[in-house]
Amino acid sequence: MMNVAIVVPTYLNQATMLHRLCATIRETSSHRIRFYLFKHSSWPVIHRECECQVLNGDTTYFPFCWNRGLSRTWNDGLLLGYHDGADVVILSNDDIWVTDGDVDVVVDAAITHRECAAVNCVGYNHTSPGNIGLGFSFIAINPIALQTLGCFDENIYPCYWEDIDYVRRMTLYDMPMHTVMTTNVQHLMGATRRSLSKKELTEFNKAATASKVYYDNKWGADKVHPFGDSRYKFYIAPDDRHNPYPGHEGPGVQYAQRWGAAA
């Protein structure tokens, strides 16, 4: 039996989805599970559901009231999960749920393929029905990834480019990813965007567009070093993760400066 950390940034105003995610993982996995829930919204209903999850005794809860960005939360969850003794850390969306055996087969693959930076899986998309690869929606990040590539780039905010950046670094460092083809993880793709107000969506899109510009500046024209500067390597050290490239601050660092130490 393995110790498995599940890192979940939660945005949605539908507590039933977070409840279903946690319940299906508990019900279908044979491993020791600990959830790390990071609340990325001010919805009271989500706060209440997260507090209910804590009552199960297997949940660590971070009650932030704003969108910190996926990179920031994924980094915190990965580092904390492995620090707390996890054998495997899985990053999970809050708009998915698992079926029998899904978690265990991902965990087993992550242990078997320790040479791989990550282990992802496949499932079913309920928004545009069909079988899909889940990318980073439900993915195990192995210790070798943290040792070799380090953290996600927190300049990228709120989402969409942090996983592409990580895969770019994996590719340049020639680190493989393993995909499990036997899972049936269920995904309600796009639920987060649909839960945003018009004002929130405008802000979200503005930041996501700025992150695309940042990513293009970092890797465009087939750069083999970040920003074409050989002083920068593929590794982002945990101590440097909040601003890994001084002078090239992207929207994530800029937003974090608004929040201060509380972020």
pLDDT value, residue 4: 98
pLDDT value, residue 172: 94
Number of domains in the chain: 1
Residues in a beta bridge with 179: 120
Query: Region 108-115: what's the mean pLDDT?
Result: 98
Confidence of residue 200 (pLDDT cuts 50, 70, 90): confident
> Residue 250 corresponds to which tokens in the numbers above?
């992207």
Q: How many residues are present in the chain?
A: 263
Confidence of residue 201 (pLDDT cuts 50, 70, 90): confident
pLDDT value, residue 65: 85
In tens, the pLDDT along 42-52 reads 889 999 999 99
Distances (CA, A) of 196 to 43, 48, 156: 11, 19, 19
> Residue 232 corresponds to which tokens in the numbers above?
């920068």
Taking residue 62's Cβ as centre, other Cβ atoms within 10 Å add up to 16
pLDDT score of 211 more than 50: yes
Angle, alpha carbons 71-2-119 (nearest 5°): 45
Torsion of Cα atoms, 224 then 77 then 15 then 137, to 10° = 30
pLDDT score of 261 more than 50: no
The helix-helix angle for 102-112 and 15-28 (nearest 10°) equals 60
pLDDT score of 154 more than 80: yes
> Which CATH number goes with the domain that contains 132?
3.90.550.10
In tens, the pLDDT along 5-23 reads 999 999 877 789 999 999 9
pLDDT score of 62 more than 70: yes
Residues in a beta bridge with 35: 6, 59
pLDDT value, residue 127: 77
Confidence of residue 191 (pLDDT cuts 50, 70, 90): low
pLDDT-wise least confident of 54-58, 197-201, 211-215: 197-201
Range(s) of the domain holding residue 125: 3-262
pLDDT score of 57 more than 90: yes
pLDDT score of 114 more than 90: yes
pLDDT value, residue 66: 84
